[in-house]
Structure 1
Amino acid sequence: MFKLYEYSPSGNCYKVRLLLTQLNIPFDRTEINILQKESRTPEFLVKNPNGRIPVLEIAPGKFLFESNAIMFYLSEKTEFFPNDKFERAQVMQWLFFEQYSHEPYIATSRFWISVLGKAEEYQAALQQKKAPGYAALGVMEQHLEKNDFFVGDRYSIADIGLFAYTHVAGEGGFDLTRFPAIQNWIGRVKNQPRYISIT
């Protein structure tokens, strides 16, 4: 059985938890409290030398880390990853977008405000993240004005990857009421079979 090492509030961990659930794959969960540096212990660093969550143990002593890589591994040859070569590349395109243009602004802001509760301490840094965060949401909005989902007009790991932090962007100080297409897409994702919430 797969074993997921995770910190429950993390959107990156939620991606994997959601996909495993929607694939109907049983898995065990082990909570790793990153606030108490549990991902930096010698025991955990054997699983991921980078000291980050999530980590998926796919066989005894065989570990995979980085949330989008884990989703790729799990989704191959399933309905969550396309067969068409161009569409597969588009999925990766959106997952790279999520990690480089979206997550550093929206997820980090949420972490500082809602997980650490240090909005005042990080006020200046949070202000710097507003414009690029809203820019990423603008790119998504533009795409979703013409498409129900991110690739091939069907739900895939591209949607899961972007949904994880977008649907809780308000917890990072981002106003989603400005993005009606994103709000409609969030509703479509929540209506997928075997959907589970982040908490």
Structure 2
Amino acid sequence: MTNLVLHEYAQSGNCYKIRLTAALLGLAIERREYDIMKGETRTGDFLANVNANGRIPVLQVGDRFIPESNAACFYLAEGSPLIPEGRLDRADMLRWMFWEQYNHEPNVATLRFWYGWIGEANWTEAQRNQFPGKRAAGEAALKLMDEHLARHSFLVGDRLSLADIALYAYTHVAEGGGFQLADYPNVQAWLDRVAATPGYIPIDA
């Protein structure tokens, strides 16, 4: 495979999911760190040469750049067991990956960032007003996962897929956003199964 470079902020779950995918597949990946709190993804050089959207992660493949974490994971995993062979299961995997970005990440990950990086004392009035809705939506997302995982070992087809990697990234650190994983025992058991997968690396590796 062409030389791979991950433009990232290491503590981001979206960046971690790409590293985890690469690790599970045994792929070497070069890492370039940017401090989002210092605006390093908003510089003219970054916007012109890495991602005009000013966000990370971005997976660089040779001289091509793939923004959006789940797209980057899909690129890495194509042709591997992390993408189901069956057409319906592949569609179901994508369903969970889209759901993660629309229903899970904007709530679970956002509150982790607000608590851990901004600090509750520094929340704006808008953030305080949004908090109850984001908390409720995050709880609903975790509940939906817990109910599904009561009947399945993994999210799709009872084997690890990109759907699990995409949702593991921010779920396993959800307590940083004020969520109590003990309330979701099936999610906790699933987290343990993902972490037991050969090749697994933690977010701080």
* TM-score band, normalised by shorter chain: over 0.9
- The CA deviation string for residues 151-191 of structure 1, in whole angstroms up to 9 with x for no partner, is 11000110000000001000000111111000000000110
What is the CA RMSD across the aligned residues, in angstroms? 1.1
Aligned: 1:56 with 2:59? yes
Identity of aligned residues (%): 47
Please, what TM-score do these two structures have when normalized by structure 1?
A: 0.96
1:72 & 1:79 partners in 2: Cα distance?
A: 12
Residue type at the aligned position of 1:52: R
Q: How many corresponding residue pairs?
A: 198
175, 189, 197: which is aligned to 1:192?
197
- Give the match for residue 162 of structure 1: 167
- Give the match for residue 76 of structure 2: 74
Displacement of 1:119 after TM fit? 5.3
- Give the match for residue 87 of structure 1: 89
Displacement of 1:22 after TM fit? 1.1
Counterpart of 2:61 in 1: which secondary structure? strand
97, 101, 115: which is aligned to 1:113?
115
- Give the match for residue 171 of structure 1: 176
Please, what TM-score do these two structures have when normalized by structure 2?
A: 0.93
25, 47, 50: which is aligned to 2:50?
47
Counterpart of 2:60 in 1: which secondary structure? strand
- The CA deviation string for residues 26-56 of structure 1, in whole angstroms up to 9 with x for no partner, is 1110001111111111111121111110011
Counterpart of 1:25 in 2: which secondary structure? coil
Counterpart of 1:30 in 2: which secondary structure? strand
Structure 1 residue runs of 5 or longer lacking an equivalent are none
Aligned: 1:133 with 2:132? no
145, 152, 155: which is aligned to 1:150?
155
